[in-house]
Structure 1
Amino acid sequence: MVEHSLAVLDKDLADRVALVTDLDVRLALITKVMDEYHILQGLQDESTEDDERFYCYQRWGKTGSPGSKKIDGPFSEEKMRAFFAGVFEERTGSPWGSLKPGDRVPQGRFWWQQAAATEENTKDEKAFWQYYVHDGVDGKSRGWYPYEDDASAEVEDIFTQHMSNNQEGRTSIRTVSSGHFSYRIDLDAMTQENTKTGKVRAIRRFTEAAAKKATKRTKSMRPPAKKRAPAAKADKALVDRKKVLKKILKTLTSDAKTTTVAGKRKPTKPKAGPKVAMKKKAVKVAKGKDAKAQVFHGKFTRTSTGLKKSDLKRNKYGKVVSKKASEAGRKSFGRVACWIAACQKARAELGIIGFVAVRKDTELYRKAKELYPHVKPYVLQKAKR
């Protein structure tokens, strides 16, 4: 069967050509990080008897995408077959005629898949695919939801290939591109995994006939509603007697505990009222970039690192920071404040303008060392807003 995508490239040619039977190849390159295909077909123009009436059609790209298309020709049959063999060898690394469908090839090379168009796998009834939502994404309730038509057709295509290739390991896990995302489809485990987010969902395949059959079976298996039978009077009386007997035994036990050997009754302590459980105040933990600010404004109890409102303050820029970290930074700056002041004064006295590195054995360094013991520490100016 001529590739349907040829009509997109050249509709007039697609209506005239027929497939050269032994030149219909679907190649695949399936690894953990890529999933690509390359379709290669030899075609013959049946509307003419010229020697040069043969073409070579190619379509290639990532699985799930339309890919790129190319038609070469017209050629004579000999040249077309030579061209076809050259493309085949370039992709597989093996000469045309040396491989059979399903044969192993060196790593990183395309391999020849079994033909997927068999009567067994292309019945008249249409198959469709569904995925299961369990996390309420997009406000959806739990249940099975259908794939979009294009996505369902693509997954059905790789499923058919998997079945045609005897369900071997190379075709069991496929990566399919769909819009901005790509999904890793496991046809043995029947799951799909979003390669970007890592979200895994269950998937299933249904045919229209199977769906109708399942609906009828579910209805027939549903048991009729039963009326609740009233409790028997004898059972009710038995329950009541048990309650009374339990109450009597409880009273006798409590009396025996409060009576002494001499027959005197012990003074009983007044019963305390029922204990009211104190509700613990809910601890709200702030996370993320603005966690400290949210705690400082009272919206949350503490940050994920345990900082409470009492541990926070605003710095001179108005940013909410940890008091402990701010104090540590102030102490750290205090160690170099005098040296900064000495360098500034040395630059002013030497008339230095622009950048000059403070290196040992330079005039600037010696002057700064001389002034260091006598200068006041440099004080950071308050930030202007």
Structure 2
Amino acid sequence: MQLAFCLYKYFPYGGLQRDFLRIALTCQQRGHAIRVYALEWHGEVPPGFELVKVPVSAFANHRRYAKFTRWVEADIARRPVDRLVGFNKMPGLDVYYAADPCFEHKARTLRKPLYRYGPRYRHFAAYERAVFAPEGKTEILMISTTQQPLFAQYYGTPARRFHLLPPGIAPDRRAPPDAAERRAAARARFGSEFGLHADDLLLVQIGSDFPRKGLDRSIAALAALPEPLKRRARLVALGADDARPFLEQAHRLGIGERVHIPGGRDDVPDFLLAADALLHPARHENTGTVLLEALVAGLPVIASAACGYAHYIEDADAGLVVPEPFAQTALDRALATLLGDDEGRARCQRNALAFADRADLYSLPERAADIILGRRG
């Protein structure tokens, strides 16, 4: 079959983007042709992919997205496809991968009523309704149990159109047999890069969109540590975002030399092995794939309960979950507790690796491909 995938922006370090790539590659490995429509593409194009960079522009994003839709519709009319798969909400999709939360719920609970009279609201509300309206035919790939009731509440979407996927953790995130040796080598390399000493405690936070991921919360928690722990702790935040306000925050709190934000990296598996804990106190997070990437690497996790995948950390007993509504003091206590308990971290590591062996945390691309290829219009 000829498959077409739509997403507004591809870059190698985004969670949605990595899921898209693995799903598309799985479909390709099963013998199907892949065409990708995107406004922006950063990084290499996989062999055999037909990348179509849609040549539209507009001052406002919602106007650009509307032009994108019309351009793609016209191109598909000339060059038909068997399935149209979207990773952003838009009309005309056969399958939608629901990485984003319910827009209508956010508009009604986080915005003032006047917001719903603006053109931006009207665009995104219409695009969401095009996917979830009860009379629609789009099959919906869900990656979290938290959002389906909201879509059903606002749109009355039939349950039969929702397909809950298992997580899709990449195999290279799992702790390898030589994990201890790789940890030592990575920490030695990071020693020269970040000033990490042998007895230091390395904290990592991974993910773009630093404000939403709660990097400011992590920096505040590091600054609040008891002095003996603070002297040993370093935080490295990986992701593609503006580092300046967070580095300024660290300097104001007197820990500027202990916070490093080197941007997006290709050596994330090494950080997962080298670190002593992952911090992910997100303000809102549909899933939080990085929580499971840390879990399968045997890295203890501190996450906010706002993360859709936080329950896996509790199920595995592999870290601490800060309850909602969030309180900074609760995160401060959790970090001090975990870093001050060497045996507790070792127990979290053992529990995480045991859970990674028995739970299906890996088959999202295969299951998504099953649904994409099995759908009938």
Q: Which has the higher helix share?
A: 2
| Bigger-Rg structure (1/2) | 1
Q: Which has the higher strand share?
A: 1
Q: Same fold (TM over 0.5)?
A: no
Q: Shorter chain as normaliser: what TM range?
A: under 0.3
Per the normalisation by structure 2, the TM-score is 0.22
Higher relative CO (Cα under 8 Å, sequence separation at least 6) belongs to: 2
